[in-house]
Amino acid sequence: MTEIIVRPLTENDIPTADRICRLAFGTVIGLHDPMQFFGDRDPIRTCFRAPPAALAAEVNGELVGSNFIAHWGSVGFLGHQVFIQTFGIKA
């Protein structure tokens, strides 16, 4: 069984987390070039800078996903997880 480690996302993780997110969501909606999902926007960096938490999922020392927790007034939100598995994409 593969062990998944969940840890705080670091600023050094942002480029990989961004690539994973764009590839996953762009593929799910069927873009010809999935990496163009979000265009020139930078939502991973924006979410990383917004409190309260940015999380990373790691397998065998490799970043495989990210998730963000938001607190909007009296509502807490755990964002949609995005990760890539070796056998395909799951979003």
pTM of the model: 0.79
Q: What pLDDT, on the 0 to 100 scale, is given for residue 80?
A: 61
> Per-residue confidence at 3, pLDDT binned at 50, 70, 90?
confident
Whether residue 70 is predicted with pLDDT greater than 90 in this model: the reply is no
Q: What is the mean pLDDT of the chain?
A: 83
Residue type at position 24: A
Q: What is the pLDDT of residue 83?
A: 53
Residue-level pLDDT at 28: 86
Q: Contact, 34 vs 18, CB < 8 A?
A: no
Pairing of strands 53-59, 4-8: antiparallel
Domains and CATH numbers, the chain: 4-90 (3.40.630.30)
Q: Is the predicted pLDDT of residue 85 greater than 70, yes or no?
A: no
